[in-house]
Structure 1
């Protein structure tokens, strides 16, 4: 008697179809990060004040760039979420491209951190060589030590 194959979920079927067609996938976490303020990092403070009215968004917080106001420190978790979302997609064999505004946000944030702070133990690995004709996301991820081949 032949065993029945387990049913694949509708989402898994869709993802397999896109992957087979060579399609790129949107990053769910990156989209959510953009809605949390990555789209306009400077204008996000007013939105943050409404979301957490009792928080002192100007209070100093430590961050990879040193001590900064809380509203600025919130930028790092947004970028972290986007970068790890990319990692997760790549680990599943999917290609992923950050939305342009989120990619620019992450690049500007990374550019603001001194190289020695970025490459310290527990920080980012040394930069890798991006593929020929890399996308902006591939170039950013290679700079952050990710293997983008």
Structure 2
């Protein structure tokens, strides 16, 4: 039965273990570089979301403020009345905004409630989500 060195040696070029080590180091460096760039892209998306946002429709106005530390606050108003006035924690996955509500002074959302919206688009001045019910909402930046 051939040893591991016998199987690997032809790939290393004339049995040269130094060449194999160089290839492995290059592959590991490439993997590390790709992982770092993915983390940078995720932080970039998160930083784009930080700030104050608003969406309006005929029934209500919804304001969210996302803070860099992973907390958020928001308010829903309808016909001039506050329907919800909430706080919580937020995070991003590859394609979703995750929310965990910690308080709502209007009593509409129970503490500990979790929600998620599919993040379809995010730019410096707007983002678009798809809610669980399939509706889409476009939020415009109010303040960075």
Q: What band does the TM-score fall into relative to the shorter chain?
A: under 0.3
TM-score by length of 2: 0.23
Higher helix proportion:
1
Higher strand proportion:
2
TM-score by length of 1: 0.22
